[in-house]
Structure 1
């Protein structure tokens, strides 16, 4: 009966554990997808707020857009060169985008709190205050993080250093194994003929000889008395 109760509790625990894990993974993927869409649309769409025309863009906005396209293409190309799977590449890109969006929202909340303490109240128009500054700040941080976290090949000298360290560790482990497997030579000696014998055998033989010597002396003493 107790075994049946334990199995039932274990089944219920596993069922709800898998269910909650699946729901949280789905919510996490949705959140990351929203962050990726928000980050890319913010960088690309804000310069065209007055219309989708290149004449509306200034030189700094054009530089930001070109830099964003270049860094994004470089990020995915580096992942392909380092043989990362497409799914892992998307996860890395989503993580970077989510981190940048969360950081930007946190800083924006701090700005709104400071603005609220100064004015006493904030309106909808305050959310779009200093929009150009927020745009360039977010775009610069986002592009910098994408550029910094693109996978890079391992440097040759660093790879050689890692190989040398591994080789030294392998050698030290081999020496320790040889030391442990080598028998203790303190109980062995080499006689005049070059043969190796145990000291314990030598000691026992010496003790046995001394016993025989004592017995022979005792026998000779008794014969002399007679």
Structure 2
């Protein structure tokens, strides 16, 4: 049975490897949370400098950071930080785990939301190695903490919890569409807003196991109490 995402928390930390990772998955949920007065902090392992084909990393990284900051603003996230781990070569290293434990200790969230760490999002839909390595690093870092946040979720197709987001679809589309340079190169034949809408529609599809409501899906990976 699917369970509603918890509500008895005040601060969430969203941990992802790249710019646009929140917008491809959880932006509608984040918009709902911030609209309810909750604090959401983003921490990104890289600036996505390898993510725009034909653009030098020294140019792409700053461009993608600007787009990510605007995307975060649209959904009400005021606190966002970027680390400098190498895009497309993010690995579960002691250095990455140290960065994760440091931000958790500093932010003191009750909820962590991380990337899905499985091998496939669905049949034939491979999950990037950066995502898998980053998700493993988050789990490893969490497990060594003395003072653990109450919940650790992954935005996942292996669903245990859902956040109903029917009223937040348009703001999620706007947030993803803010990655205009990235999306325009990714698919030059499709308008950016159409790409954004298709992705948001896919990740917030009506769930037949939850009264056909539009939801963002999560898998509970850790809980302390």
Normalising by the smaller structure, the TM-score range is under 0.3
TM-score by length of 2: 0.18
Relative to its length, the structure with more helix (as a share) is 1
Relative to its length, the structure with more strand (as a share) is 2
| Greater C-alpha radius of gyration | 1
TM-score by length of 1: 0.18
